[in-house]
Structure 1
Amino acid sequence: MAYQLPDDCLNEIFEYLEMDKFTLHSCLLVNRLWCEISVRILWRNILNFKFGKKRSFKIETSILSTLIACLPNESKNILHDNNIFISTPTSKPLLFNYVSFCKSLSIYGFNRIIIGALESRKSLAKHRNSLVANEIIKMFATQISSLKHLTYHRKPFYNLNISFPHFPGARELSELYCDSDLPSDFFYQLSQICHNLQSISIDFCKIITDEIKELISSQNNLKNLILSSSNGNWTDIIPTITNHSNTITKLKLYSNCDSSFSFVSSFSNLQELMISFLIGDLKDLEILQYVNFPKLQILKIPFYNCSKPEYIMNFLENNGKNLKKLYIGECTNKTLNLSISKFCPNLKSLFIMFTNGELDVLKTILISCQYLESIKILCGNYHLSEKEVLETVVKYSPNNFRELKIQHTTNSDAFPNDLESFFISWERRTPKKLLSFMIIDYKEYNYNYGNFCEVLEVIKKYVDLGTIKFMTKSKEKESEEEEEFYIF
């Protein structure tokens, strides 16, 4: 007699498979119990899939047809009355109330699916697409009892006429990603029912309403705040934000216009800080250079202006000891790079720019930062050569080192035999550690000095031997820290 695991055990096992969509899909056909558990997890965030374009379109169309099948008869009649006919997967009653499983909702994501699946390009297309979107969103509002994540962005191409309904299930909302110019009643509704948001991300446009301020003010324990600005700034909302300076531990600021960030100095409990900006006036950075953040572990500053590297150096002198992860992109300054080996001895992950001739700086960092596990290095053109990087990393990297990321700016100078020599030397290291070897923007022309097929053969050989785990990412995915894509 076959033994059936208890339901709670199956649930716990399947939760571990949440990020493995392929395995979860295979569980759908085992039996009804496995199917129900898998479906509940898969529909928790139905837009969280990453496939090729053709595969994604097929999945998006399937999602839309299933949602149409879930619509109440009243909504279906409204669509029919407007000559909108969308096929459903079955004429029979659905096995599950799929919509009720959803915990994450993206208004922009569903707009994209609707427009793409309906392929509407006629003069009335926007009205028809908006009608479908509103009926689906109304269904979500009535069927989802506990919404955790909500994304509501307006994109020019997908800017449909959406009316956000009363959404009782949003009372449990923990993450919100939105634009500042959304209708004020949207922010007012959330401010009345959502008081436990853990994470808020706002893209600031020209409009900042009192309702936005009230929503932020009404939060009890806000921990993660992301502010971005492309055609507006967040100046008017700074007093409201700083009221949460004691609870916020992660702060990310993105701006390509005149948006001050000196207010960061009041956030004494920060564990992670990212500031991405086009520097014109460095007065804000000048203010921050001597501020102490005793709990800061992650610092990311894409530093586009190196005219005052001493500001960053002073900041590292005050805060570098506790840093575990450091990203200083777009700045090539030898003195600044050397200061990292002095002020940041406990780093585990690092990305900085080395110019050609700074191999000694890389060596110094590898020797000084004995806890370093991962490093990302640009190779080619005015940067270090890949061949020299491989030789230096295998010789001087600390015992805990386990991940090397290389991004080519020009063709690689490493031959297949250089890669093989590196892998052999790595295999002989003590203690032995599996190396995650990543090439960013991995393309055939990266290795024009050697036969590309030979490069692949060398890499595959040491993947099969268990010496390395090979990964590749596009430059965009690496910057967004998305999941890896394996060649083999």
Structure 2
Amino acid sequence: MKLNQDCLTAIFEFCDINSLYSYLLVNRFWCKTAIPILWRDPWIITKTLNSKRAKIFFNTIFQLLPEESSDLLKSQGIDVPQRRKPLFDYIGFCKYLRKLDREVFYEYNDEQVKLLRQEIFKQFISNCSKLVLFDTTDVEHTVLEIPRAVTIFSDLYELHCKSTDNASLFFGLARICKFIEKFYIKHTIPNLGLAELIKNQLKIKYLKIYGSRIDDGEICSAILKHSHTLIVVSIPIEKDLPFLNDLILGLNNIQKLELTHGVYDSEVYKQLTFPSYPNLQVIDLNLSYSVASIAAYSIILKSHNLQIIVLRFNAYNYSENILSAISQCCPKLKCLKFYLDKGYLPIFRKVLINCQLLEGIFIDTNRKYLSQHGIELLKMLTTSAPLGLYKVHIGNFSYFKMECLKTFFENWKGRKPLLLSSLEVEVEDKKSDNIERLDDLINHYKNVGVIKEYGDDAVILNDNFERFY
């Protein structure tokens, strides 16, 4: 049975970029189906460090440039391949316009790179049917003067930018764009144009701010306008207490909240007021441990729909309170990333027993984690964890005896096969023959269906465990 193009497209949407490239060579029908998907966001190949593919990509773009652009580039010493008629309307498929990294054009000087960016962007803006994502890095405001710019930017959905980018460009986009829902901002200095752009949107849902400063009154005011529509927020904690409290109190529909390193001021954390978040499903805290623990405890205690909790700090004496809150208030929890000290194993058992939807645990420990506690932890996973648990990472600062691991795998039989990250064996088991024994052990339990996948440094778990949006 031959699949029609709609079915084949639906299948190809789930394929990785390497597979899609190989499909180009199957037949004309597969090639015709794969090309629009590959060219929807072609810039991704410049991020993969695949220099050969990047060169082919830019050679294709150069061949599509109008004659006047080719002549201009040649006059500035830039080699441009001979123009030819393309097999497809490649640029017409593009929906993403990302920044052109300087490293891609390493053989050219800064002025040549600036000219290349100008002509390439001009070609894309002139020939795209519609843009979904735009990265303003190193883009001049004159791009908005290109014919059709208003048309292709009018339905822009996602913006990546820096507060150091051209303010005139932001003011121009503010007049054109009203429906941007996702903002990814590296903020370091005030920018009135960026504030105006944020303020003019009708409904912002996703906001991620990088950097260490948000002491910008105009930006803060613009963000607060959208607090009730935001569903995903990632923001550095700063000293601007009134803004932070107003934002935190206004996040009525928040589903994912990520708080990151900012200026460490314990008094700020202590004064923050976290309300009940009925729709909150994910928290991700990467902060100073003592004050972040206060925030984590407050949020967990009041949020009963949490599915993913990522705590990137050692809570020390706060672990008991946080784990207790999780065991009592998080019946829907699916994934937990946490720093577990040996003294809190009993309360962790309550988490395993009470959180029956748990699928993944990502535990960090320290080198003081003694053998008997490691045995206790592994035994706890087989006796107390819900049957749906199968993603397991126990930090590489903990050591296990070979016999302890063998017992754990034997006891895991009959449960869902493990996605397991790398394990450390004890010093006396680190001789070469025992390292080989560990590999043999892993392979044996793969063959009998106890382990599905095993990888170093939680490679197996990273995509599955923490991806939410």
1:111 aligns with 2:97: no
Q: Specify which of 283, 293, 311 is matched with residue 328 of structure 1.
A: 311
SS of equivalent residue, structure 1 residue 306: helix
Matched with 1:143 is 127
Aligned equivalents of 2:374, 2:92: Cα separation in 1 = 52
Instruction: Give 1:137 shift.
Output: 1.0
Q: Residue 408 of structure 1 contacts residue 446 of structure 1 at CA under 8 Å; is this kept in 2? A: no
Q: Which of residues 10, 13, 20 is equivalent to 1:12?
A: 10
The match for 2:340 is 354
Aligned residue in 2 for 1:172: 155
Instruction: Please give the alpha-carbon distance, in whole angstroms, between the structure 2 residues aligned to 1:257 and 1:65.
Output: 49
Displacement after TM superposition at 1:256 (Å): 7.2
Paired residues of 2:453 and 2:460 also in contact (CA < 8 A): no
**One of 357, 362, 369 as aligned partner of 1:371:** 357
Amino acid at match of 2:230: I
Closer, same or farther: CA 104–387 of 1 in aligned 2, 3 Å? farther
Structure 1 pair 408/68, CA: closer, same or farther in 2 (3 Å)? same
Return the offset for 1:446: 13
AA aligned to 1:405 is H
Which residue of structure 2 aligns with residue 339 of structure 1? 325
- Match in the other structure for 2:396: 408
Q: What's the counterpart of residue 76 of structure 1?
A: 70
**Contact residue 308 and residue 333 of structure 2 kept, 8 A:** yes
1:96 counterpart SS class? coil
* Alignment partner, residue 157 of structure 1: none
- Displacement of 1:281 in angstroms is 2.5
Find the counterpart in structure 2 of residue 184 from structure 1: 167
C-alpha distance in 2, partners of 1:327/1:317?
15
User: What pairs up with 1:414-453 in 2 under 5 angstroms?
Assistant: 414-428=400-414, 432-439=415-422, 448=430, 451-453=434-436
Deviation at 1:298, TM superposition (A): 0.9
C-alpha distance after superposition, 1:371-413 (max 9, x if no partner): 211110013414576554333212221122121123213xx52
Unaligned runs of 5+ in 1: 155-159
Pick one of 77, 86, 94 that aligns with 2:86. Answer: 94
Q: What's the CA shift string for 1:76-130, capped at 9, x where partnerless?
A: 1111111211447xx64221122221111211xx2335324xx23xxxx111121
| Residues 347 and 371, structure 1, Cα contact 8 Å, conserved in 2 | yes
Deviates more, 1:129-138 or 1:253-262: 253-262
1:457 partner amino acid: D
| 1:38 match | 34
Contact 2:70 2:80 in 1 (8 A): no
Equivalent in 218, 221, 227 of residue 245 of structure 1:
227
The reply on whether 1:318 has 2:310 as its aligned counterpart is no
State the TM-score, normalized to the length of structure 1: 0.83
Counterpart amino acid of 2:330?
C
Structure 1 range deviating more: 455-464 or 383-392? 383-392
Deviation at 1:482, TM superposition (A): 4.7
**Equivalent AA in structure 2 for residue 379 of structure 1:** T
Question: What SS does the corresponding residue of 1:303 show, helix, strand or coil?
Answer: coil
Partner of 1:199: 182
Task: Tell me if the contact between 2:248 and 2:274 (Cα under 8 Å) persists in the aligned partners.
Answer: no
Q: Distance in 2 between matches of 1:381 and 1:313?
A: 26
8 Å CA contact 2:199–2:225 kept in 1: the answer is: yes
Structure 2: 5+ residue stretches without partners: none
Aligned to 1:391: 379
> Alignment identity in percent?
25
The one of 41, 47, 54 aligned to 2:43: 47
SS of residue in 2 equivalent to 1:357: helix
Q: Secondary structure at the match of 1:437?
A: strand
| Deviations 1:213-233 (CA, angstroms, capped at 9, x unpaired) | 221122222111112223553
Aligned residue pairs total: 453
- Separation in 2, partners of 1:433, 1:308: 34
How far, CA to CA, are the matches of 1:8 and 1:52 in structure 2? 28
Three-state SS of the structure 1 residue aligned to 2:44 is coil
State the Cα distance separating 1:278 from its structure 2 match.
4.1
Q: Tell me which amino acid in the other structure corresponds to 2:12.
A: F
Q: Residue 185 and residue 51 in structure 1: after superposition, are their counterparts in 2 closer, same or farther (change >3 A)?
A: closer
The one-character-per-residue Cα deviations of 1:179-209 (angstroms, maximum 9, x if unpaired) are 1121122112221222111211111121221
Deviations 1:226-251 (Å, cap 9, x if unpaired)? 12223553443222212112211111
For 1:246, give the aligned amino acid: H
The whole-number CA distance in structure 2 between the counterparts of 1:312 and 1:31 is: 54
Compute the TM-score of the two structures, normalised by the length of structure 2: 0.86
Is 2:261 aligned against 1:282?
A: no
Selected match of 2:279 from 283, 290, 295 = 295
Match of 2:60 among 66, 82, 90: 66
- Deviations along 1:438-471, whole A, 9 cap, x unmatched? 239x999998367333322322333333322224
8 Å contact from structure 2 (residues 269, 291) kept in 1: no
**Which residue is 1:25 aligned to?**
21
2:204 is matched with 222
Greater helix share, structure number? 2
Over 3 Å counting, the alpha-carbon distance change for 1:36 and 1:113 in structure 2 is farther
CA distance in 2 between counterparts of 1:478 and 1:242 reads 38
Query: 1-side partners of 2:422 and 2:427: how far apart?
Result: 13
TM-aligned CA deviation for residue 147 of structure 1: 0.9
**What is the Cα deviation at residue 145 of structure 1?**
1.5
Aligned mates of 2:95, 2:428 — CA distance in 1: 42
Q: 1:419 to 1:187 in 2, by over 3 A?
A: same
